[in-house]
Amino acid sequence: MNTDIFTDPIFIAVAAVLLIIVIWFLVYYFKHRNEVKTVEQTYSKEKESLVEKYESEQEEERLEHKKEMSTLNEKYHNDTTLLDNKLSSLHQFTVDKGEYLTDLSLIQLKDKLVKDEKIRETDMIILSNIYLPSRNYTNTRKIDHLVLTRTGIYMIDSKYWSGHILHGINENQFESVPYVESFFDLLELDKQKEQTLIFEKADSENVSVNHYNGIIDETKVTAEKLKNKFKLQYDIVPIIYFNPKDNGNYSITNYSEDPSIRVLVGQEDLEAFFLKYVFHGRFQYTVKDLDEIANALIDQSL
């Protein structure tokens, strides 16, 4: 007997079970989908909250760091300004009038050479009041002026004197200048070594006599020590510069026979020396070399 499949009790039972399963699945799906959305929303909110908190903390740290850096920069500026003022005061205190005038003459000379386009600004560096330290503090040497050029380095020992100067005199001149021997005896000077005597009017009735022993030797030794300390390839040229005090009454006679040291008198002589000899020689240093030497000298002098 043929039976319609849709009226078969077994089919109806199976269909009912499948329908129940589908309905249960749909109910379960929609129910858990809402839960998943709820979890996702919760997670999203927590994530946003954490991001906002992190950004807020980072901004606070950035502002705090900025504030701290601003405070440190202000302190650094104040400290360096104070130090610069102290160094400037110390520099002015330790430089006498004669050294100042010599420094001014060198600066004016450089400005003139640059203006006339004979040199570039970087071809000449002028340093004043430089100290050459020694392991023994008492042997620290002071250098009045140091002129660094591409054709050489020149160390200037500046003497700001008035009166009548006999430079580099010794027993070889006693015959031509007989009165000097008595001062050698009075001052117990070595007659074989070159000496520098200065005769200056003390008042209307008296004349003072000063002597400066070993100026030449000391200047040459300092130049040699400076060369060795910085391991320079070329010799430093030592110069003794007599800068007449206030352009007053003075005279100088140079008896020195030492060819290794220059003796210059007055601003015109100083300018003539640099114009004639300094900027017409063979290059010994580059601009970079001069900068490195100058920076090293400044660093070791502080």
For residue 299, how far is the Cα from the chain centroid? Answer: 6
pLDDT digits (tens, 9 = 90+) for 196-229: 888 887 777 888 888 877 778 888 889 999 999 8
Both tokens of residue 104?
């001014």
DSSP state letters, 106-163? HHHHHHHHHHTTSS-GGGEEEEEEEEE--SSGGG-EEEEEEEEETTEEEEEEEE---E
- Residues with Cβ within 8 Å of 111's Cβ and at least 6 positions away in sequence, in order, are none
Report the C-alpha gap between 51 and 119 in whole angstroms. Answer: 63
Q: Are 113 and 119 in contact (CB under 8 A)?
A: yes
Nearest to residue 91, comparing CAs of 82, 100, 81, 104? 100
Digit-by-digit pLDDT tens for the chain (302 residues) are: 445 555 667 767 777 777 777 777 667 666 666 666 776 777 777 777 777 888 888 888 888 877 877 777 777 666 666 555 544 444 444 456 778 888 888 999 999 889 988 888 999 999 988 887 766 655 677 888 999 999 999 999 988 777 888 988 999 999 999 989 999 998 899 999 888 888 887 777 888 888 877 778 888 889 999 999 889 989 999 998 887 775 566 778 889 888 888 888 888 888 899 888 777 778 899 999 999 999 888 877 65
SS3 1: coil
**Could you give the maximum distance between any two Cα atoms of the chain, in Å?**
169
The share of the chain scoring above pLDDT 90, in percent, equals 20
Alpha helices per DSSP H over the chain: 9-94, 97-115, 180-187, 215-229, 266-276, 287-301
Amino acid in the structure at residue 136: N
Neighbours of 107 (CB within 10 A): 13
